[in-house]
Amino acid sequence: MLHAIGKGIVLAEIQQNSNLTYRIYDYDRTDNNGKKRELHIDKALDVIHFTEHIDFQKSTGIRTESGFTVTTMFFYDCFEVEKYKGEGRINEIADGRAFSTYTVTEGSCIVIYKKGSLPLSKGESVLIPANLGEFSVEGSFEALKVHVP
């Protein structure tokens, strides 16, 4: 997907891994040696699907769960994004089907699991392995949860 991220922008870029980036413009940024980074205009034009439209389902619902407002931001075949906002404890089970991630966008929380815990602050993310089993996320926070539906 063609996109631009300007100076001062903070975003969550949720995507399938392609291991490939074609630059068509790079804001005249330089590498560690002061050399402008390579652009790939012809290669990018060869792979951009200018007429393709992906039908994301947006904001499909809001529910409350354990003191949190949970908003489904959007979903697609490959992933679903939910926003959790509130204070309390969310109990979850990673049942072996797929991993999930949490990215804290406001506040802080702690992820508690059988063998330990992990504190997270604004801007930090955690990958929850598919086989983690029971875990909880506790605190006063806003976070994006991304998982395979």
**Predicted local confidence at residue 75, as pLDDT:** 82
Active-site amino acid positions = 23
**Predicted local confidence at residue 51, as pLDDT:** 83
**Predicted local confidence at residue 58, as pLDDT:** 62
Burial of 120 (0-12, 13-18, 19+ CB in 10 A): buried
What would the pLDDT profile of 70-98 be if each residue is shown by its tens digit? 999 888 778 899 999 999 999 999 999 99
Compute φ and ψ for 124, nearest 5 degrees.
-100, 155
What would the pLDDT profile of 129-149 be if each residue is shown by its tens digit? 999 999 999 999 999 999 988
Mean pLDDT of the chain: 89
Select the CATH number that applies to the domain covering 57-147 from these four: 3.90.79.10, 3.50.50.60, 3.20.20.70, 2.60.120.10: 2.60.120.10
CA distance 78 to 17: 11
CA distance 121 to 115: 20
